[in-house]
Chains A and B, each alone.
Chain A
Amino acid sequence: EKVMTQSPATLSVSPGERATLSCRASQSVSSLLAWYQQKPGQAPRLLIYGASTRATGVPARFSGSGSGTEFTLTISSLQSEDFAVYYCQQYNNFPLTFGGGTKVEI
């Protein structure tokens, strides 16, 4: 099983600031990594797949990078609606595994 580790667990930022979230895989997952956003009481929403491709309708302020074992999700200028929990997920192998999440808060 490929273990996904996200850091930090909580990120405190102000609106308009840049946020950088990290995800590390215990073994290489190539570029087969996705990012999701989850707001309270809602299902996760796909943001990024293939490590760097934005899903349909995702604003350009969200960007993903990385390959192998190290990945980053960057939110260039945080908007109020971006405060949420973010999860990474590898789909290089079964079992499909998620990271533990990073909460982005004010």
Chain B
Amino acid sequence: QLQLQESGPGLVKPSETLSLTCTVSGGSVSSSNYYWAWIRQPPGKGLEWIGTIYYSGSTYYYPSLKSRVTISLDTSKNRFSLKLNFVTAADTAVYYCARHGDYYDNSAYYDYWGQGTLVTVSS
């Protein structure tokens, strides 16, 4: 059974960098069949896709966040990471990592999710 687990600081100061890691077990981030994504949900609000990475290293980012986001893959540790620069209070959210299928095969829906981790931006 595939499992994803987010980890990282729960509190980040404004203007600093939010860094999270998603560790995958029961499956491989090196699989060519799947993509690995970050999604966030501000308190009491809806879901927002942040970006996605493929095993090849190709990345896709939400346009409004693209200038501040980097998603990377560590195949040796079977995990992927999110960095979001210059955070503000508006970046306070529960951050989820998730898996989705091949975008080019019309299967980019999220079938597995991590439990989520709350990141608060505050001084």
Contact = CB atoms under 8 A, between A and B. Distances in A.
B109 A43 contact: no
A13 B113 CA distance: 28
Which of A34, A36, A91, A96 is most buried by chain B, counting CB atoms within 10 A of its CB? A96
A34 B110 CA distance: 9
Interface residues of A, number: 22
A100 B44 CA distance: 11
A83 interface: no
A55 B110 CA distance: 11
B60 A94 contact: yes
SS class, residues of chain A in contact with chain B: loop
Nearest to A92: B106
Nearest to B60: A94
Contacts of B116: 43
A1 B79 CA distance: 29
Given A43-B96, A91-B103, A98 B49 contact: yes
A95 B62 contact: yes
Contact of A1 (B37, B47, B63, B113): B63
A96 B60 CA distance: 10
B26 interface: no
Contacts of B115: 42-43
B120 to A, nearest CB: 16
B74 interface: no
A97 interface: yes
Contacts of A84: none
Contact of A87 (B47, B61, B113): B47
Given A1-B63, A43-B116, A98-B46, A32 B106 contact: yes
A44 B111 CA distance: 9
B114 A43 contact: yes
Interface of B: 37, 46-49, 52, 60-63, 96, 98, 100, 103, 106-111, 113-116
